[in-house]
Amino acid sequence: MRKTKKKILIVEDDPNFVSILKEEFSREGFTVLVAQDGKEGVRTSESEKPDLLVTDILLPMLNGIDMAKQIRGKGSEPPVIFLTNVKDSGYSNTIKKIKKADYLVKSDVKLAEIVSAAKKLLGKR
């Protein structure tokens, strides 16, 4: 596939899922950065300035929603895809209030749908 200059930061504590996501996004031409917890996600975002965040909600150290708010509170406004296995209307209602964000339940989506959501948020096809 075509190379893109877009950087995606995946913040996820499941190494197997990270590996699968990283491979899929790399295949689509994205540069992929990885963090294993919310605090590392904030630090990596500050230093690398990703174009998109793909994050689990339930993370060690700092949850994905609070991490995204911290990153955005520092002037960076990357779109965010929140991934979780928890079907919780509280999460979805909170995320609906966040600009340029999407919420996907891991067990309900295929990898291609996650990549498609990322491209949509980045204005790509």
Cross-sheet strand order for the sheet of 31-35: 31-35, 7-11, 52-56, 80-84, 101-105
Pairing of strands 80-84, 101-105: parallel
The predicted pLDDT at position 125 comes to 58
The predicted pLDDT at position 88 comes to 65
The predicted pLDDT at position 63 comes to 92
Q: Is the pLDDT of residue 1 over 60?
A: no
Can you tell me the distance from the alpha carbon of 82 to that of 27, in angstroms, rounded to the nearest whole number?
21
Can you tell me the distance from the alpha carbon of 25 to that of 10, in angstroms, rounded to the nearest whole number?
10
> Nearest to residue 49, comparing CAs of 77, 81, 18, 24?
77
Can you tell me the distance from the alpha carbon of 109 to that of 83, in angstroms, rounded to the nearest whole number?
10
Can you tell me the distance from the alpha carbon of 96 to that of 7, in angstroms, rounded to the nearest whole number?
24
The predicted pLDDT at position 17 comes to 92
Residues 54-96 have pLDDT tens digits of 999 989 999 999 999 999 887 778 999 998 887 766 666 777 7
The predicted pLDDT at position 48 comes to 94
Can you tell me the distance from the alpha carbon of 84 to that of 87, in angstroms, rounded to the nearest whole number?
8
Can you tell me the distance from the alpha carbon of 111 to that of 106, in angstroms, rounded to the nearest whole number?
9
Sorted by where each starts, the structural domains of the chain and their CATH numbers stand as 7-121 (3.40.50.2300)
Residues 9-49 have pLDDT tens digits of 999 999 999 999 999 999 999 999 999 999 999 999 999 99
